[in-house]
Structure 1
Amino acid sequence: MTKYQSFYTNRSTVEIAQDLLGKVLSYQSDQGLLSGYIVEAEAYLGESDSAAHAYNGRRSTFNEALYGEPGTIYIYQLRQQYMFDVVTQASDVPQGVLIRAIEPKDGQQIMLKNRPVEGVNLTNGPGKLMQALGIQSKVFNMQPLENSKLTVELVTDRQPANITASGRIGVNLNGETGLQPYRFYVAHNPYVSRMRKKDMDLNNFGWKNNS
């Protein structure tokens, strides 16, 4: 078992989604290293989750990555935007976490070239962060995180001061599990999607230790 697989073993997807906050999403691109602290993530609980791509056992070439080993990359396209998920459970248990937003760490100038916008709008959404990273294809889909240029570093010095849970964004709220609080984010971090200006912590960005 690899270190990436062991990170997900014997833990619920809900737990994993929260633990990913503060971890570094990094991409070794042809332009240079691009990375950011994960500040928002959504859990999707597979066959029993009405908002999940594998609800009721749906399986196709579109979502096949979800049925892979823990730590597998699942990239899909929605409304012409690419999204990045991490598979979280054992093979054939199609659960995962959508990375919704990051706070830039390395390569911000390159990100701005890839997505020329100002302020937090650079990476405060799942499609936005993929644009900022310059990933506009499914080239990394089904790759294991530990062998990919796109990965999640499992050790970081950033710890959320508080984690907030809410309903997920953009799902069918009338579905059986549509209202479940499976979206987790670093409270008051300005890069969280839909964070209101009056709620932003512009000093510590919601971290215990903003070093």
Structure 2
Amino acid sequence: PAEKVARELLGMFLLHDSDEGRTVGKIVETEAYLGQNDPACHSAGGPTKRNKSMFGPGGRVYVYRIYGIHWCFNITADEDVIPAAVLIRALEPVAGISLMQERRKKDQLPELCSGPAKLTVAVGITGQHDGLSLFSGPIRVYGGPPKGDDEIVSTTRVGISRAADWKLRFYLKDNQYISRK
């Protein structure tokens, strides 16, 4: 389920091999979207051209635009019949930092990936990556040490009006790279 995956992804590493080079960031903030029974989830209204990547196996990339400008990166996170996903909200830069700085036109490390739109620019993720498998494509997630409940903060999701009180946002406690407290 997406809620479990959102917690398990914390501390893992997101790697993207692009034509420009490799970038790696530690996942420090996530949000779970639970599928068609979650009014804030893109799949709540059924399949569309925009959300078709959610209606497939877990472990796929789901990328969409917000405000017609910014890309957001998600990982599909349930069985084929449950179109759920985890939004990656923030990364702690680990490798390819100069490339991230060049793409974001920022030098301060905490500013590079501290939000969904910021991290897609820094890591070089766009709509062309939508639907790719995390198991065989240029974008992969690999393990870091598991995090205990005492290391994870759970709070409400950011910037939504439906199911706004659901505590499905997770971040690493005391991490300076999250988007907001």
Question: In structure 1, what is the Cα distance between the partners aligned to 2:35 and 2:124?
Answer: 28
User: 1:70 matched to which residue of 2?
Assistant: 58
Contact 1:100 1:193 in 2 (8 A): yes
How far the C-alpha of 1:58 sits from its partner, in A, is 2.1
Amino acid at match of 2:79: A
Partner of 2:86: 97
- Counterpart of 2:115? 125
The amino acid of 1:85's aligned partner reads N
1:110 maps to amino acid: L
- TM-score when normalising by structure 2: 0.93
% identity of equivalent residues: 33
* AA aligned opposite 1:128: K
- Per the alignment, residue 45 of structure 1 pairs with 34
Residues 42 and 97 of structure 1 are in contact (CA less than 8 Å); yes or no, is this contact kept in structure 2?
yes
Higher strand share: 2
The letter for the 2-side match of 1:184 is: F
Per-residue deviation at 1:118? 3.4
How high is the TM-score relative to the length of structure 1? 0.81
Larger Rg: 1
> Which SS does the other structure have where 1:86 is aligned?
strand
Give unmatched runs, 5+ long, in structure 1: 1-11, 196-211
CA distance in 1, matches of 2:46, 2:135: 27
The one-letter code matched in structure 2 to 1:191 is Y
Q: Which gives a bigger RCO, structure 1 or 2 (Cα 8 Å, sep 6+)?
A: 2
Structure 2 counterpart of 1:112: 101
- Counterparts of residues 137-156 of structure 1 (less than 5 Å): 137-153=126-142, 155-156=143-144
Q: Is the 8 A contact 1:22 1:39 kept in 2?
A: yes
CA distance in 2, matches of 1:166, 1:117: 28
Q: Which residue of 2 aligns with 1:60?
A: 48
Unaligned runs of 5+ in 2: none
Q: How large is the Cα RMSD of the aligned pairs? A: 1.4
Q: In the alignment, what sits opposite 2:2?
A: 13
Q: Which residue of 1 aligns with 2:167?
A: 181
Contact 2:8–2:146 (Cα < 8 Å) also in 1: no
Query: 1:157 Cα deviation (Å)?
Result: 4.0
Report the Cα offset of residue 158 of structure 1: 6.9
SS in 2 for 1:19: helix
